[in-house]
């Protein structure tokens, strides 16, 4: 878990670094019934994305890119955070890790089995030529070759299918926690319009993110070969939930979009939820516009990167990097000199 955060160049923040983000994570932690508060990280990247990590909820973390913080309003950000909290609550990180290990083991066993069949069959075929058993040995060798080729492909498809189901489930959980499916739907819409790709992502970590970090605008990945369901489909399901926000409402919308086919895995606390109304949050005066959100995120990055600040009398704030060694600094607005 810590390796992924390190590879992503994620910076841990506290409640004073980005109060709005911390407050939203805390709200969703309470709404989900999660026992422990996850650590919060910011990734300095303009791409719009987020992920959760932590096989153990005690050591879980949520990471959000600066691009996401800058673009999403409070309701949208709440929907994304709720989605990531759901991954922690539903133990998806642990599940996908176990699935990966299990499928990897199957592939290795298939590889060794195919080698035994291939080379063992080749040795026996020399002895069986005189007795007319060469045809059977040829079939065994063909099966061995097919097994070696198909096992990794099938394992990948199974992994992708499980990953997609867990994404649907996290969307359903987000709707339940926030009581407002449109928040996540609107956020996913913005993510779908973004063309930025996360620099620190790789194929191994792609399933961890709320959207595929390698997607391109207008490109629709095959359902079978993608770790995430199509964004348009996820948005459509959330917006077909009508006046409900429960797991049952989501499942009904899911079946409508899939024309009656397919089911979602049940999770305790979701399947038992009764009627949950879809409630639009009241407008908040403290919800900042995009310019304010950018300043808020930039200030948080300065804090976690140990920048020093000097408030000038003209109202400007001077930021000094950790390595600044000068004794004085001039205000860029009024040229007033300040001692460091």
Q: What is the pLDDT of residues 46-72, one digit of tens each?
A: 999 999 998 888 889 999 999 999 999
* Burial class (CB within 10 angstroms; exposed 0-12, middle 13-18, buried 19+) of 112: exposed
Contact 172, 247 (CB under 8 A): yes
Q: Of the candidates 255, 235, 84, which has an alpha carbon nearest to the alpha carbon of residue 170?
A: 84
User: Residue 81: what pLDDT?
Assistant: 97
**DSSP assignment letter at 315:** S
- Does the active-site annotation cover 84? yes
In total, the chain counts a number of residues equal to: 340
Find the catalytic residue in 84, 167, 182, 251: 84
The ranges of the chain with pLDDT < 50 are: 217-222
pLDDT, residue 221, reads: 45
> What per-residue confidence (pLDDT) applies to 290?
83
Provide the pairing of β-strand 39-43 with 61-65. parallel
What 251-257 contacts at long range (C-beta under 8 Å, 24+ apart), as own/partner pairs, is: 251/172, 254/168, 254/172, 257/233
Q: Residues 270, 275, 280, 282: is their CA dihedral positive or negative? A: negative
What pTM did the predictor assign? 0.79
Instruction: Give the Cα separation of 75 and 24 in Å (integer).
Output: 9
Strands 308-311 and 50-53: unpaired
The CA radius of gyration of the chain, in Å to the nearest whole number, is: 26
Q: Which residues does residue 62 pair with via DSSP β-bridges, in sequence order?
A: 40, 52
Sign of CA dihedral 234, 236, 237, 243: positive
Backbone CA torsion sign across 142, 147, 152, 156: positive
pLDDT for res 7: 81
């Amino acid at each position: 878990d810590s390796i992924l955060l390190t590879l992503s160049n994620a910076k841990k923040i506290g409640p004073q670094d980005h109060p709005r983000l911390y407050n939203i994570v805390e709200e969703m932690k309470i709404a989900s019934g999660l026992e422990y508060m996850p650590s919060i990280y910011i990734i300095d990247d303009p791409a719009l994305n987020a992920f959760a990590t932590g096989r153990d909820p005690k050591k879980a973390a949520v990471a959000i890119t600066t691009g996401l913080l800058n673009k999403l309003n409070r309701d949208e950000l709440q929907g994304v955070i709720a989605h990531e909290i759901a991954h922690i609550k539903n133990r998806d990180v642990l599940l996908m890790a176990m699935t990966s290990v299990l499928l990897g083991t199957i592939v290795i066993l298939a590889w060794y089995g195919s080698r035994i069949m291939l080379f063992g069959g080749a040795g026996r075929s020399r002895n069986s030529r005189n007795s007319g058993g060469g045809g059977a040995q040829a079939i065994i060798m063909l099966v061995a070759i097919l097994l070696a080729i198909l096992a990794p492909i099938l394992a990948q498809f199974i992994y992708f299918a499980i990953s997609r189901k867990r994404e649907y489930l996290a969307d359903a959980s987000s709707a339940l926690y926030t009581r407002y499916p449109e928040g996540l739907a609107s956020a996913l819409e913005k993510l779908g319009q973004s063309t930025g790709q996360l620099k620190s992502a790789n194929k191994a970590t792609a399933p961890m993110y709320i959207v595929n970090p390698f997607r391109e605008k207008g490109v629709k990945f095959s359902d079978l070969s993608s770790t995430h369901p199509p964004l348009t489909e996820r948005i459509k399901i959330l917006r077909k939930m009508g006046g409900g926000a429960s797991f049952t409402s989501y499942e009904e919308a899911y079946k409508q979009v899939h024309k009656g086919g397919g089911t979602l895995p049940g999770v305790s606390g979701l399947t038992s939820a009764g009627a949950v109304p879809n409630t639009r949050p009241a407008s908040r005066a403290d919800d900042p516009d995009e310019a304010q959100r950018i300043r808020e995120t930039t200030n948080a990055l300065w804090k976690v990167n140990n920048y020093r600040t000097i408030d000038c009398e003209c109202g400007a704030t001077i930021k000094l990097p950790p390595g600044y060694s000068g004794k004085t600094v001039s205000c860029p607005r009024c040229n007033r000199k300040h001692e460091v």
